Amino acid sequence: MKLSLGPILYFWPRDTVLDFYRRVADAPVDIVYLGEAVCSKRRALRPEDWIQIAEELEAAGKEAVLSTMTLIEAESELGVMRRISENARFTVEANDMGAINMLAGRARFVAGPNINTYNAGTLAMLAAAGARRWVLPVELDRNTLRALQAARPAGLETEVFAFGRLPLAFSARCFTARAHNLPKDECGFRCGDYADGMLLSSQEDKPFLVLNGIQTQSAETYNLVAELPEMKDLAVDVARISPQSSGTFEIINTFHAVIDGTLEPAAAPTRLAPHIPYGACNGHWYGQAGMNWIREVGAEAVFSAMGGLKRG
């Protein structure tokens, strides 16, 4: 099983991004997704910069993939998507059906996690259009994955989002700007003040969601490190880690140790706990509420949600 690093979903300073990918070049990841996938107003790096980073990572032995935006709202954003799609060198991760339409029949691509790949018919359509890999939507469970794997067209790889805050929704409205009583077009790039997004708590002061510009994420961190052996049994080709502002390289090393057999999967969640500020979750994998944290004990699943323990 290979290990991938998803695109940075937050607005980090240019120098921070460049330093981050210099470290990635030496990290034990096989695939690196690059580019702005959330908000086109974030222009600290230009398309040429992402191409240069991709070239440097390729020279370091990584597979570099350019990611497109998930929500296209303006002609300028369409132009950037077209420019990425028409690059003749690097594989593209399509996060919008418009990008798939641009790529169909002319380039091999990755169908990203924001494409609603829910059934065998969609898998067949993506493969026919030229997909080389698809990413399981984060809300789907292992039983659905098992069924899709059984129907997967030959030559199509499968990737699973295995660590990071879950991307739940995208909107035309910028929630970070709204939280500061600013209009979207005059946001002042307030999302740059939150290296891992802006926490939204419930009235009971419990972490609930994270606002990341136009993207809404889970407050809990999705963590499938203990489920890596099951993913292998399900013939998953790639496990994805989503970058965060601190601890990313320790997270990568932990996943790599489980994959290469030098760390027991059951011990891995404890090692990752310091890098999960608002608790872990894995409920979607087990077909339950996404915010739940579940550990299997024999034939049973023991899970906790909002501080309580239940047995199923």
Query: Distance between alpha carbon 201 and the CA centroid of its chain, in Å?
Result: 23
Q: Is 258 helix (H, G, I), strand (E, B) or coil?
A: helix
Based on the number of CB atoms within 10 Å of its own CB, is 52 exposed (0-12), middle (13-18) or buried (19 or more)? middle
C-alpha angle 20-113-254 in degrees, rounded to nearest 5: 45
Q: Side chain identity at 156, as an amino acid letter?
A: L
Q: d(Cα 259, Cα 232) in Å, to the nearest integer?
A: 9
Q: Using DSSP, state whether 99 is helix, strand or coil.
A: helix
CA distance linking residue 216 with residue 9, whole number of Å: 11
DSSP string covering 150-198, please?
Answer: HTPPTT-EEEEEEEEEEEEEE-SS-HHHHHTT--GGG-TTGGGG-TT-E
Rounded CA-CA distance 209/199 in Å is 6
Tokens of 57: 């990572």
Who contacts 20 (Cβ-Cβ below 8 Å, separation ≥6)? 8, 12, 243, 248
Burial state string for 60-99 with b = 16 or more CB within 10 A and e = fewer than 16: eebbbbbbbbbbbeeeebbebbeebbeeeebbbbbbbebb
Pairing, β 308-311 against β 300-305: antiparallel
Answer yes or no: is 39 a known binding residue.
yes
Element containing residue 115 per DSSP (H, E): none
The annotation status of 174 as a binding-site residue, yes or no, is yes
Q: Which residues are annotated as a binding site for [4Fe-4S] cluster?
A: 39, 174, 187, 191
Q: Which residues are annotated as a binding site?
A: 39, 174, 187, 191
